[in-house]
Structure 1
Amino acid sequence: MTTTGRRALLRAGAAAGATALVGCTSSSGEGDGTRRPSAAELEAERVARAEAALRLRSVSTARTLLERYDAALAAHPALTTRLTPLRRSVAAHAKALGEGGTTVGPATISPSSPSPSASASASVSPRPVPVPVAADPRAALKELAAAERTASDRHTDALLTAPPEYARLLASVAAAGAAHAYLLTEGAPA
């Protein structure tokens, strides 16, 4: 064999070996259209899921409070003047907390869609369970104030894991809840 023949044979062998190596590595996931996500991508996905779950809990807390206001207004129409501005504020908080929707798994929860608990209970029972309201208007106001404090505490607890912009919103909503609780109990007589 001549020197030119050997070199050509070596080049062809090297090219075949390189092709085989590329074929081996691409068959481990890249050749079939999938690739393994990087550690940064996995962390970003984990953070996004955690934030979506946080938003879902926050929206659910606000909607539960809104249901309490609706029940109190239905049970005590005489409190309409006092409760309507606070209810409007809680509704705005629920909308703001869910702005852009929250995605957890295959479902997207938007501010206009029913709460996850409401949709789950709707599929189980034909009518939603009514929120209990005290027969006495003063007691109903105290219950609402307690519900406001509970919601405020939940929003405050969520600050620890919230991203900065959402934490600011949660802090504002929590502060408003504390003010609502004050207005419901100390602010004005029933």
Structure 2
Amino acid sequence: MTTTGRRTLLTAGASAAAAALTGCTSDGAGPRRPSPAEEAAAREAERVARAEAALRRRAADASRTLLERYDAALAAHPALRTRVAPLRAAAAAHVRALSEGDRPAPSPSAASGTAAPAASTAPAAPRPAPADPAAALRELAAAARTASGAHTAELLAAPPEYARLLASVAAAGAAHAYLLTEGARA
């Protein structure tokens, strides 16, 4: 079952519980009071949904931060585009997959400075990349390792389908770090 299916199932269960809670009694005395078990189940379903939403936000934010570092490096070092652009594209796909449409990933034009203005809730502009291209690549590799570590740390709390996605994105982040550093030497 996909995480979207899981969320739909939880929502449907909560809706069914709400419908049951507002149902009529057989004696026509009005709505029946929910049992303590029904109330506890509804609270638990809401807690699980909130925890999963927070986990998704954290995971998407970790990838979004990496994407911002790619954009900063590309803006500072256009000569790195051939090497970095495919990794940046993968990071943008990770943001989209992890957020499931919560907030769109910045467009590739963000690296050229032609992106639309950020929303008022967005953090300030990311710090610029180092002036030295080699240092910029090392910083990107460190950012990829940081994002990979953040995704790995969330695995145990994630529902199964989302955990598989997080594991894949974490592995990709580790591969990015390798390609940005060691892979260039091979």
| Alignment TM-score > 0.5, same fold | yes
Paired residue type of 1:132: P
C-alpha offsets along residues 21-42 of structure 1, whole Å, 9 cap, x if unaligned? 986xx5xxx48xx968621111
Which secondary structure does the structure 2 equivalent of 1:174 belong to? helix
Structure-1 residue corresponding to 2:43 = 42
Structure-2 residue corresponding to 1:166 = 162
Paired residue type of 2:70: Y
Task: Identify which of 112, 128, 132 aligns with 1:132.
Answer: 128
Q: Which blocks of at least 5 consecutive residues in structure 1 are unaligned?
A: 1-20, 102-108, 123-127
Structure-2 residue corresponding to 1:184 = 180
Structure-2 residue corresponding to 1:142 = 138
Residues 129-138 or 160-169, more deviating: 129-138
Structure-1 residue corresponding to 2:92 = 91
Which secondary structure does the structure 1 equivalent of 2:153 belong to? helix
Paired residue type of 1:52: A
Asked if 1 retains the 8 angstrom alpha-carbon contact of 2:68 and 2:126, the reply is no
Structure-1 residue corresponding to 2:73 = 72
Asked if 2 retains the 8 angstrom alpha-carbon contact of 1:152 and 1:174, the reply is yes
Distance 1:113 1:181, change over 3 A: closer
Structure-2 residue corresponding to 1:60 = 61
Bigger Rg, which one: 1
CA apart distance, 1:110: 3.5
* Structure 1 ranges of 4+ moved more than 6 A: none
Q: Give the superposed CA RMSD.
A: 2.6
Paired residue type of 2:178: Y
Which secondary structure does the structure 1 equivalent of 2:120 belong to? helix
Paired residue type of 2:85: T
Find the aligned partners of 1:152 and 1:119 in 2 and give their Cα distance.
28
Q: Which blocks of at least 5 consecutive residues in structure 2 are unaligned?
A: 1-26, 108-117
CA apart distance, 1:61: 0.9
- The TM-score, its normalising length taken from structure 1, stands at 0.69
Residues 57-66 or 167-176, more deviating: 57-66
Asked if 2 retains the 8 angstrom alpha-carbon contact of 1:54 and 1:158, the reply is yes
Find the aligned partners of 2:68 and 2:40 in 1 and give their Cα distance.
42
